[in-house]
């Protein structure tokens, strides 16, 4: 029996993004929306956190979406169907929990954050919660999971920065229009997953409308077990670790300035790794 976790399916979603379906029955049985896994591509590779984009306990599979940004994610992207991922540990982190009394949850996904958003909104839909989604990308070729999200959302809006598809503008522009339409309505909540600047902007916007909001701080995670301290962040004046206390937190309590600094801590090392 070969070592590692077999890749059952690989699908190219964008020029830099791949979806992998991995054979991991134990992880699939325990996984919950919002959690992540730690993967290692080969014996000498680094361990990286990857959000679970889907899971099927009956089939024993876990799906992850990986965007090729750094050296390890590019190595991951080069793997093929039938190949293996050497290590896969999880599920890790706390599952997503919606606020109490929410009648409408608007999911906001930036870039490949739409992949992490999908299991969250699907779970809410299965619970009978009314769900909408706003997803965004630089241009049409980088839009992902539009079909999957559309099947579990009562309303789906796709945004592109350049206007090549859907709504022209940022997800926050579209969200503001929707919040204006819903102004005064009780039970509206927002959950956002994506780049840190996008989530920071969403948090600022929803605070002005007094709409409860959660964000995923997965962009600053490194080790995934709380031992490295790389994802240490202040939430409601308390020190938290995104990987063990999160990844989801109250957006209006997060110190985003600190998160941005955390995200840039290893910029030089990441650049050196890409150039190697």
Question: Any residues with CB less than 8 A from the CB of 80 and at least 6 apart, and which?
Answer: 7, 10
The DSSP 8-state label assigned to residue 223 in this structure reads S
Look at residue 170 and give its three-state secondary structure: coil
Question: Any residues with CB less than 8 A from the CB of 91 and at least 6 apart, and which?
Answer: 27, 30, 31, 32, 35, 36, 37, 52
Give Cα 143 distance to the centre of its chain. 14
- Point out the residues of the chain with pLDDT beneath 70: 1-2, 99-102, 224, 226, 263-276
CATH 3.40.50.80 is held by the domain 104-263:
yes
Cα gap 84→4, rounded to integer Å: 5
Cα gap 170→151, rounded to integer Å: 23
Residue boundaries of the structural domains of the chain: 5-92, 104-263
Given this structure, which CATH class describes domain 5-92? mainly beta
| Per-residue confidence (pLDDT) for residue 2, from 0 to 100 | 47
254 and 235 in contact (C-beta within 8 Å)?
yes
| Per-residue confidence (pLDDT) for residue 1, from 0 to 100 | 38
Kindly report, residue by residue over 75-113, the tens digit of the pLDDT.
Answer: 888 888 888 888 898 899 999 987 666 689 999 999 888
106 and 133 in contact (C-beta within 8 Å)?
yes
């Amino acid at each position: 029996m070969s070592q590692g976790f077999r890749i059952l399916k690989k699908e190219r979603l964008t020029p830099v993004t791949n979806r992998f379906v991995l054979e991991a029955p134990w992880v699939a049985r325990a996984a919950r929306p919002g959690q992540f896994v730690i993967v290692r591509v080969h014996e000498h590779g680094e361990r990286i956190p990857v959000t679970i984009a889907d899971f099927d306990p009956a089939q024993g599979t876990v799906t992850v979406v990986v965007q090729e940004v750094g050296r390890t994610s590019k190595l991951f992207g080069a793997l093929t169907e039938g190949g293996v991922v050497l290590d896969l540990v999880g599920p890790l982190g706390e599952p997503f929990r919606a606020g109490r009394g929410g009648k409408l949850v608007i999911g906001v996904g930036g870039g490949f954050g739409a992949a992490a958003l999908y299991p969250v909104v699907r779970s809410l839909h299965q619970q009978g919660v009314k769900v909408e989604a706003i997803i965004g990308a630089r241009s049409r070729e980088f839009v992902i999971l539009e079909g999957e999200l559309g099947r579990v959302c009562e309303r789906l809006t796709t945004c592109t920065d350049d206007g090549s598809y859907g709504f022209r503008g940022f997800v926050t522009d579209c969200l503001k229009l929707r919040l204006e339409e819903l102004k005064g309505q009780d039970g509206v909540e927002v959950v956002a997953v994506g780049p840190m600047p996008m989530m920071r902007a969403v948090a600022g916007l929803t605070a002005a409308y007094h709409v409860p909001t959660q964000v995923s701080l997965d962009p600053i995670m490194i080790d995934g077990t709380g031992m490295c301290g790389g994802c240490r962040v202040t939430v409601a004046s308390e020190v938290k670790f995104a990987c063990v206390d999160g990844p989801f937190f109250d957006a209006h309590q997060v110190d985003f300035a600190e998160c941005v600094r955390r995200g840039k801590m290893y910029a030089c090392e990441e650049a050196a790794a890409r150039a190697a």
